[in-house]
Structure 1
């Protein structure tokens, strides 16, 4: 990926399998790619789950290897051939683990509670980050409510959004507004007709987003529609 960034690298990035140069390049790619950010939100946290699983029998190796180590070794090999082969294999491994299947995997009694704890809350990565943080409540219009949990990163600002009281169909964006007035789209999404956090569809929406603007240089955040209507305003 040092020569070009590929969308398929989101899986390898989520598992921490990219080398340093590739990782920096993909993080820069994430800032401008909403589909990759959305996919990363779904895959985030899988590295810790896979790391907690016992060794997998690899019949070409002298001894069993932990799942994450086996994937890392496979990634290094597949970088020399086809990038897509690894991604398909990684996705299959993630699906098997998430579904509770452990083909070729040895789980000790101590591993089971660890996996149950990882999956027991049923929270997605964005919701978990929001729940663990200190939300900044926003000011909404027309019954819209929500807030942000933000953190400073070396590459800029990471945020988790909670949004409720909104009906669709709508296309929305989370935007960071710098103290200098510069605006950066952090993430975008579509609101289905049923909406989020409303009667008949009570669950709020949780989304991850990223801005290249450092947190100290951000004045506030906005949730806006594609038509330019401001739904929520959050001061940094």
Structure 2
């Protein structure tokens, strides 16, 4: 983590993904940042739930997205604010096991929706990919939940937020297994991931699912009227 502690590291902290020096630095940041403390309280249930879920084939856990800059034809890529990308098989409410079994006895916990907030959806007949996103405005920008289906692997993909002014920021990245997501013969009905961008909801124009190396699998318009 950059020595400058970012607000979006709250996700990585909640999921236990920060290394020891970064963890100590972020805890120092928490003491003086009420918004981060509130965000951590919201995510505590999700982190606890994920801790109860054992490893599952096809589940990919990504470390926090490192802030960096990229150049592109349409401007600078400001790396987004994904504290962590949590990938799990969709079609299962968080709070239940990935196999569909109920939560362990004694756990009275409401399910956490990975794709919640302001909903937008789209599909691309050219690629066969469909998806939806949930946007939640935060003090630091926008928290984004993604559900994606019909993706053929193996691929390396990333979600990119595009603002009304054309500025792009990487929200999260992931790997698609050989059998893909939401396809006949695939054990995973969908990809569900969480990330974020420093761009606020009212300033967003669209979200693009892109392939590492070039190409767009899906564009989801999110601009407000």
Match 2:200 to one of 207, 210, 214: 214
Q: What residue number does 2:170 align with? A: 185
> Is 1:138 the counterpart of 2:122 in the alignment?
yes
Structure 1 portions without partners, runs of 5+:
43-48, 50-98, 101-110
> Is 1:228 the counterpart of 2:214 in the alignment?
yes
TM-score, normalising length from structure 1? 0.54
The alignment of Structure 1 onto Structure 2 pairs a total of residues equal to 157
Q: Give distance in 1, aligned partners of 2:12 and 2:207.
A: 29
CA RMSD of aligned residues (A): 4.0
Q: For the pair shown, which has the larger CA radius of gyration, 1 or 2?
A: 1
Distance 1:23 1:2, change over 3 A: farther
Structure 2 portions without partners, runs of 5+:
17-25, 40-63, 68-80, 89-94, 96-102
Higher relative contact order (CA 8 A, sep 6+): 2
8 A contact 1:223–1:233 mirrored in 2: yes
> Is 1:165 the counterpart of 2:144 in the alignment?
no
Give the SS at the match of 1:129.
coil
> Is 1:38 the counterpart of 2:85 in the alignment?
yes
Match 1:20 to one of 31, 34, 44: 31
Give the SS at the match of 2:114.
helix
Q: Deviations over 1:168-193 (max 9, x none)?
A: 11011110001111100000000010
Q: Give distance in 1, aligned partners of 2:82 and 2:140.
A: 19
Q: Deviations over 1:28-77 (max 9, x none)?
A: xx6646895036x78xxxxxx9xxxxxxxxxxxxxxxxxxxxxxxxxxxx
TM-score, normalising length from structure 2? 0.56
TM-superposed CA distance for 1:20, in Å, is 3.3
Q: Deviations over 1:101-159 (max 9, x none)?
A: xxxxxxxxxx92xx1444xx6xxx5xx132x5453112323211111011111101111
